Every structure is written in C-alpha cells, then in structure tokens.
C-alpha cells in the first residue's frame, strides 16, 4: 500500500453525518424533523434488507423513517395513490421507492409520480435532466457519493479523462454527467463497447458500475489512475478486481467500505437538505 491512497468511504460517510447532525439540530429548534418515506412493494429479501438498513441509518441521525410496506399484488394505480399521498404530506421531505418492484407494476410511471422536491434518490427523469444540466439538487445517491469521495480527498477532475463502465439511469449516466460538469472528459462504456481494455488504458479516472464481480482487471488500467468501484455483488465483491488494480492505481475504493457507505449518507444528506428547503419555503409563506 506504499504511496497508495485508500479511498475510505466509512471516513467520508462519517464526515457527512457529522455535518448533518448540526443541520438536524438546527431544524429541531424550528420544530422540524427531517422525514424519509420508504416504499417497499412485495417481499424481496434483498429489498427488505436495503430498506431496513436505510431506516436504521435514519434512526441513528434522528431522521424520521416512515416505512410503507405494500403487498406484491398491489396495482400501479394503488402505488401511484400512495405516492400522491406522500407528495401531499408536509411532514414527509423525501420519498424512496425501493427498486425493483414486481414485474406487473409500471416502475417508471411510479418513479415519475414522485414530486421533484421529494425525489431525494434522484430517480425521476426531471431530476436526471436537472443533474445533467448542472442545477439538479438531488442527484442519484451513488453518483453523488462518488463526487463526495472525490471532493473529500481533493482529487482533480478538471481535464482528466474519466471512463465510466456502465450506463444505468441511476448510476452510469448521471455520474457521467456529473463528471462532465466538473470539466472531465468522459467516455461512457457499456456491454456493446469494443476494445474496453484499450479504452480503460487511457483513463485517469475509472468508475466501475457494470454489475459484474471482479470484471475490471489490473492490466486494463493505467498506472497511477483513480479507481472508484460502485459495484456491489454477491459476497461483498465489487466490479473491480481489487488486488490486481491496487498495484496499478494511485487511489482506489475498497468493497465493502468504499462507495456504499457514502451512498447511504447521501440519501440522508438529500433528505435533510429537502427538509431545510421545505422549512425555508414555509417560513417565507408565513412571514
């Protein structure tokens, strides 16, 4: 590990939470408690675990966790009605619909139903568009986590060649846009990309978001590059072959303990920011 920079997500997440505690305390004095509503449809064990983890993280930060568990047989219209009620609830500041939902539900329609001011998970097309244009308030949480790590460790993006491996609407695409807005030159790769190893050899920054364990090999990356592994696969394995990439990279995130903890802290951060904004608007309305 000599001269290697371990990008420790646990340290970054704790730093974010310390800042949030001050904001939560300030809101408490105003009689406001940030509230995140999580919607779980069905009984998928992994989804149940993720929702529980997010709820526990809220509890530790004195953020209200409103948990809504719906039957796997619920219709799209009934789910939309639930979201509409949460949109109208002034005590709810953020709404998270746990992915995936059962196949008979129109997931995109459900995501789009979330009010933009409560889209703290960055799943709406409006939120994505605002992020791409550079004025989105709540980007998708994993891309936001990657930027938070970059900022915490004061890593340069301007003029750097960033290669993003993955193009999902809540990870690859938004992180490409965020890096482009930071003046990086961005190449977005995917399953149809030819000569991926040769492209990665040119990368100053590698973002792994492909969903394949140990996919990116050390011999594919450039000496001295920055490697941010946003993958999380069965067995706590990332998308990067950590040991081989460690020898080539200047800086690298581990899995677990890298991007993951910061992703959850970004969800908390966005919820608190939404509560602050809501209290400011309320204050203006009553002043």
Residues with a known catalytic role? 54, 98, 121
How far is the C-alpha of 236 from the C-alpha of 286, rounded, in Å? 49
Encoded tokens for 97: 């619909």
Task: Judge contact between 204 and 161, C-beta under 8 A.
Answer: yes
- Beta bridge partners of residue 227, listed in sequence order: 206, 252
Encoded tokens for 118: 């409560």
In terms of C-beta density within 10 A (0-12 exposed, 13-18 middle, 19 or more buried), how is residue 50 classed? middle
Residue 228 neighbours by CB under 8 Å, 6+ apart: 7, 146, 149, 150, 205, 206, 207, 208, 252, 253, 258, 259
- Helix 9-29, helix 141-152: angle, nearest 10: 110
């Amino acid at each position: 590990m000599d001269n290697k920079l371990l990008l420790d997500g646990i340290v970054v997440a704790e730093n974010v939470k310390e800042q949030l505690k001050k904001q939560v305390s300030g809101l408490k004095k105003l009689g406001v408690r940030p509230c995140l509503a999580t919607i779980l449809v069905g009984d998928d064990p992994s989804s149940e675990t993720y929702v529980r983890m997010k709820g526990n993280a809220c509890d530790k930060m004195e953020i209200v966790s409103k948990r809504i568990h719906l039957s796997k047989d619920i219709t799209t219209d009934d789910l939309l009605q639930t979201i509409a009620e949460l949109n109208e609830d002034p005590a709810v500041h953020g709404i998270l619909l746990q992915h995936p939902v059962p196949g008979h539900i129109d997931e995109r329609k459900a995501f789009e139903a979330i009010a933009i001011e409560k889209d703290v998970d960055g799943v709406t097309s409006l939120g994505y568009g605002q992020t791409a244009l550079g004025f989105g308030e709540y980007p998708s949480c994993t891309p936001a986590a990657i930027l938070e790590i970059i900022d915490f460790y004061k890593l340069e993006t301007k003029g750097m060649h960033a290669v993003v491996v993955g193009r999902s609407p809540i990870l690859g695409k938004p992180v490409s846009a965020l890096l482009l807005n930071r003046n990086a030159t961005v190449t977005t790769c995917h399953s149809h990309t030819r000569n991926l190893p040769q492209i990665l050899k040119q990368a100053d920054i590698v973002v792994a978001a492909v969903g394949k364990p140990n996919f990116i090999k050390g011999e594919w990356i450039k000496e001295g590059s920055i490697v941010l592994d946003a993958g999380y696969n069965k067995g706590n394995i990332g998308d990067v072959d950590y040991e081989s990439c460690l020898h080539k990279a200047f800086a690298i995130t581990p899995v677990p303990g890298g991007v993951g903890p910061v992703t959850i802290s970004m969800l908390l951060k966005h919820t608190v920011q939404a509560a602050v904004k809501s209290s400011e608007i309320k204050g203006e309305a009553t002043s």
